[in-house]
């Protein structure tokens, strides 16, 4: 069962219990929850919804405001508000709001974006190097103390998944930093000169990542 409010269609979930009265509420997925008695018919429930349309509209608005305050995360250096709506077919971004069918699909979208963006930026920054270095394997995982790691033996660059929260320049810096380790294994003067060669503002970004 669905119900239209302000040109938007919302799913109606009916819970029949040993209730004398019927109660309406909105859940975090913006579904209209109807708690009613075992003998209530769909026709009666439809009538209740129609009679309380204005109240339901206010309840939906209040729930959306609440979700805007609680469902926030950073994506490429910008704060976004997430709004979940089962009627949404896919994840979309409009201004500072991300619309998603549910949290599961939002998380999948976020992981897919991470894999795509990290690989794109790795390829982009790798092409800058004039030095002869191998194209590394890419791993992504959350790390508490490091933004990136370069394994010289396996030619693997591991990037912190939390970098997707930061500005794209932070991701580029960490990639160039780790690629430079394929030439200089330590943090010598030559190493930092190489980093600066391909990322002149590295000191500014490095400082921001430490804050």
In a domain, 176, yes or no: yes
Name which of 105, 129, 111 is nearest 177 in CA terms: 129
Q: What is the mean pLDDT of residues 137-148?
A: 95
Do 98 and 76 contact (CB within 8 A), yes or no?
A: no
Look at residue 199 and give its three-state secondary structure: coil
> Does 57 share its domain with 115?
no
DSSP letters along 22-83, please?
Answer: -EEEE-TT--EEEEEETT--HHHHHHHHHHTHHHHHHHHHHHHHHHHHHSEEEETTEEEEEE
- Its domain, for residue 126, covers 110-210
Residues 133 and 44 in one domain: no
Residue 76: inside a domain: no
Using alpha carbons only, how large is the chain's radius of gyration in Å? 25
Is position 23 within any domain? yes
**Which domain-ending residue is among 52, 70, 88?**
70
Same domain, 132 and 195: yes
Domain count across the chain: 2
Is 165 a domain residue?
yes
My answer on whether 53 and 114 are in the same domain is: no
Please indicate, yes or no, whether residues 62 and 147 belong to a single structural domain of this protein. Answer: no
pLDDT score of 116: 97
Where a domain ends, among 70, 95, 125?
A: 70
pLDDT at position 82 is 84
**178 and 128 both lie in a single domain:** yes
> Model confidence at 95, in pLDDT bands (50, 70, 90)?
confident
Q: DSSP 3-state assignment of 3?
A: strand
Domain CATH for 146:
3.30.2010.10
pLDDT at 10: 93
Among 21, 52, 70, where does a domain finish?
Answer: 70
The pLDDT of residue 7: 86
Pair 10, 64 in one domain: yes
Q: Is residue 41 part of a domain?
A: yes
**What is the mean predicted confidence (pLDDT) over 118-125?**
98
Same domain, 125 and 181: yes
Residue 117 lies inside a defined structural domain of this protein: yes
Q: How far apart are alpha carbons 3 and 23 in whole angstroms?
A: 16
User: Could you tell me if 123 and 195 lie in one domain?
Assistant: yes
43-47, 63-67, 99-103, 121-125: the lowest-pLDDT one = 63-67
| Domain-located, residue 103 | no
Express each pLDDT in 37-87 by its tens digit.
988 899 999 999 999 999 999 999 888 777 655 556 789 999 888 888 878
pLDDT of residue 120 exceeding 70: yes
Check whether residue 189 and residue 117 sit in a common domain: yes
Residue 61 lies in a domain: yes
**41 & 114 share domain:** no
């Amino acid at each position: 069962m669905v119900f239209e409010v302000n040109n938007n269609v919302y799913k109606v979930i009916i819970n029949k219990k040993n209730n004398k009265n019927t109660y309406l509420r909105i859940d975090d997925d913006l579904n209209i929850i109807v708690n009613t008695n075992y003998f209530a018919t769909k026709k009666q429930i439809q009538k209740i919804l129609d009679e309380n349309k204005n109240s339901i509209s206010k309840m939906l608005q209040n729930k959306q405001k609440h979700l805007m305050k609680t469902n926030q995360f950073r994506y490429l250096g910008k704060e976004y508000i997430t709004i979940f709506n089962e009627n949404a077919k896919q994840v979309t971004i409009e201004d500072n709001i991300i619309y998603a069918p549910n949290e599961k699909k939002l998380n999948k979208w976020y992981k897919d974006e991470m894999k795509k963006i990290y690989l794109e930026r790795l390829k982009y920054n790798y092409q800058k190097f004039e030095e002869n270095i191998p194209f590394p394997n890419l791993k992504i995982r959350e790390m508490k103390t490091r933004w990136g790691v370069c394994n010289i033996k396996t030619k693997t660059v591991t990037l912190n998944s939390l970098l997707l929260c930061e500005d794209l320049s932070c991701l580029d810096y960490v990639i160039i930093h780790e690629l430079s380790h394929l030439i200089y294994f330590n943090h010598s003067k030559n190493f930092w000169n190489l980093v600066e060669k391909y990322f002149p503002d590295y000191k500014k970004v490095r400082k921001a990542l430490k804050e």
